């Protein structure tokens, strides 16, 4: 039976499944039909309405100003980072941008430890380092070695890294302030929709001549992305940000690689193979550490309520 203390593992697992499948097929609309990335963003923003409906059903929408602040912070950092990523990729090398952006869990861990006073055990620290190393290895790809490593893409990549790291922190902070999952995700959905005009301006207007399969396939894949975002909110509201962020960011690419191997007959690179081992080992250590911490806490709670031997004597 999954207790409240351990329920984050369920939602983190669902997140890994949804984002892992999404990662394996997310590039199909662009690779098959040349569909613009900005249009992918627009459709993603609308697909957020689907999990938002289920998240808010049965939950009261928190109208407090603090809920709006943290909900918008989580939404704008996530959606804004996505738009900045398109801009960075238009003038910079992907094989350098993605490894830098993938370090966003480092920002989450640092903010959680410094501002939320989250404490993680030594095994969890080792696991987090292994998971973060795996994330970087997954993002490394071959390049021509002649790209401009100091171009305008560099500050954009740094901003994206900080924004996505801060997003997970804002989700966790909102949960600690008593803001329910539906409210956080509702504001994230609103944030994504608000930035649609920016995406259209970046794209220069709606594309013409795209076959119906392009938006249809985009909608199917982006529903997985949107649902995964909801599971991230739910995992962070129940588990430590310093543990959830590295685990989910490390394990989702593992599933993507496995699916790519099965569907596309594509073998992982040496970096990818090492990353898989580190991701599995690091995630196992962090989950084991959290389980051990919860077991120790349960024992302490039981000892605290148990009557002492002297108390039973007349």
Domain boundaries, the chain: 7-142+149-294
Give the tens place of pLDDT for each residue, 192-248: 999 999 999 999 888 888 899 999 999 999 999 999 999 999 999 999 999 999 999
The region that residue 62 occupies, defined by phi over 0 for left and psi between -120 and 50 for alpha, beta otherwise, is: beta
Distances (CA, A) of 275 to 25, 133, 135, 254, 310: 20, 7, 7, 8, 55
Q: Tell me 4's DSSP state.
A: T
pTM of the model: 0.85
Q: What is the pLDDT of residue 298?
A: 52
CB 98 within 8 A of CB 139: yes
Does residue 262 register a pLDDT over 60?
Answer: yes
CA angle 126, 130, 133 (to 5 degrees): 140
- CA-CA distance, 8 to 234, in Å (whole number)? 7
Q: What is the pLDDT of residue 297?
A: 52
Residues, the chain, total? 314
3-state SS assignment for residue 97? helix
3-state SS assignment for residue 269? coil
């Amino acid at each position: 039976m999954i207790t409240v203390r351990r329920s984050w593992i369920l939602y983190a697992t669902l997140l890994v499944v949804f984002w892992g499948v999404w990662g394996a097929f997310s590039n199909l609309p662009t690779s098959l039909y040349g569909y613009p990335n900005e249009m992918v963003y627009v459709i993603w923003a609308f697909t957020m309405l689907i999990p938002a409906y289920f998240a808010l059903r049965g939950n009261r929408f928190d109208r407090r100003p603090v809920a709006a602040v943290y909900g918008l912070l989580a939404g704008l950092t996530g959606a804004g980072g996505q738009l900045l990523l398109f801009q960075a990729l238009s003038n910079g090398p992907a094989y350098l941008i993605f490894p830098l952006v993938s370090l966003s869990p480092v920002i989450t861990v640092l903010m959680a430890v410094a501002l939320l006073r989250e404490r993680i055990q030594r095994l969890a620290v080792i696991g987090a380092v292994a998971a973060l190393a795996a994330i970087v290895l997954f993002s490394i790809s071959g390049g021509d070695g002649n790209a401009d490593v100091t171009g305008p893409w560099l500050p954009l990549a740094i901003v994206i890294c900080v924004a996505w790291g801060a997003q997970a922190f804002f989700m966790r902070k909102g949960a600690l302030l008593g803001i329910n999952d539906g409210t956080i995700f509702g504001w994230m959905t609103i944030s994504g929709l608000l930035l649609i005009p920016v995406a259209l301006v970046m794209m220069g207007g709606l594309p013409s001549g795209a076959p119906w399969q392009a938006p249809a396939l985009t909608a199917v894949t982006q529903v997985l992305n949107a649902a995964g975002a909801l599971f991230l909110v739910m995992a962070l509201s129940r588990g430590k940000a310093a543990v959830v962020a590295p685990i989910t960011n490390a394990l989702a690419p593992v599933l993507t690689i496995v699916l790519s191997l099965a569907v596309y007959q594509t073998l992982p690179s040496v970096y990818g193979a090492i990353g898989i081992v580190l991701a599995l080992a690091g995630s196992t250590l962090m989950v084991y550490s959290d389980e051990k911490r919860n077991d120790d806490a349960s024992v302490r709670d039981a000892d605290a309520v148990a009557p002492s031997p002297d108390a039973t004597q007349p």
